[in-house]
Amino acid sequence: MSGYAGASPPTKSPKKAEGIYLCKQRFIALANNAKRNYVMLIIDEAQDITFREWKWLLGIQNDLDYEGYLLSVFSVGSHQLNYRHEYMAITGNAHVAARFMAAHARFHGLRSQDEIAYVLNGYDIDSEWPPGSSVSYLQYFAPGEFREGRRLADCAGQLWKAFVELSPESARRHFEFPMQHIARATEAILFQLAVGEAWDEVTSYESWLRELAKSNFSDHMRIIATGN
C-alpha cells in the first residue's frame, strides 16, 4: 500500500483556486510569448458581468501586478454599464469601478455618407477572400465588374439616401446607422452580383432600399429611438 511518510497526502486544489491559478498563468504565458510584461483582456457584453466576477478579476489583476505583469481590461457593452459604475460607487465599491471603469467612450454608428463610403471601400479593396488570396470581396464575387473599375464605395450616396428614407420619424433627429444593416445589405448585393445580376440594377437606390427593408432596419431604428 503506497503512502506518504510524515506528511498528509496532497489534496486537489479547490476548483475556484485552480481556475484563478490557471487563468493567471494563461495571462503570463501570453505576455511572455509576446515578450511583453502586459496583456489586454477585452470583455464583450460586459453589462452581464456580475459584481462577484469583477472582484474575481480584481484579484487576478492584483496577483499579476505582484508578479510584474500589467493586465488592462477593456469592457464592451450596452448603456447599462454606466449604471453599473454608479451602483458600485454608491454601494461602497468605488475602488472596483475606479479600477475597471475609469474611462468611457461611446460607440457611434455611421453618421455620414463619407463614413459609409469608407466601409464600402473595405469590401472593394481593404478585405481578403479567400484568406491568403490577396483578393477583395468585390473582386471575388464580381471579378468582371471589379476589372472594369466599378466599386461599391461609389454607391455610398444611394445607400445613405436609403437609410434616411427608411428611418422612422422618431430616429430622424440624429442620423446614426448600425453597421449590421450595412453588412447585411452589402452581402446581399454581393451575392446578387455573384450570380450574374446587372451591376446598375443591383447597386441602384431601389435595390439598397429593398435590402435594407429586408433587414428590418426601420423596426430596429424605431426600437433604438423609443425603447419599444
Please tell me what DSSP assigns to residue 6.
T
Whether 184 contacts 211, CB under 8 Å? yes
pLDDT band at 227 (very low <50, low <70, confident <90, very high): low
- Looking at residues 9-38, what average pLDDT do you find? 83
pLDDT band at 209 (very low <50, low <70, confident <90, very high): very high
Q: What is the pLDDT of residues 44-74, one digit of tens each?
A: 988 888 888 999 999 999 999 999 999 999 9
Each domain of the chain, given as residue ranges in start order, spans: 15-100, 113-226
Whether 147 contacts 193, CB under 8 Å? no
- Looking at residues 108-112, what average pLDDT do you find? 86
Cell triple for residue 176?
Answer: 446614426
- pLDDT(86) > 90: no
SS (H, E, C) 100-160: HCCCCCCCCCECCHHHHHHHHHHHHCCCCCCCCCCCCHHHHHCHHHHHCCCCHHHHHHHHH
Q: Quote the pTM value.
A: 0.65
Backbone angles phi, psi at 63, to 5 degrees: -60, -45
Closest CA to 109 of 47, 157, 171, 46: 171
* Cα 74 from Cα 62, distance rounded (Å): 16
pLDDT of residue 12: 56
pLDDT of residue 4: 41
Whether 24 contacts 59, CB under 8 Å? no
* Cα 75 from Cα 101, distance rounded (Å): 8
Q: What is the dihedral of CA 60, 61, 65, 70, to 10 degrees?
A: 130
Q: What is the pLDDT of residues 161-195, one digit of tens each?
A: 998 888 766 556 667 788 899 999 999 999 999 99
Q: Indicate the average pLDDT of the chain.
A: 86
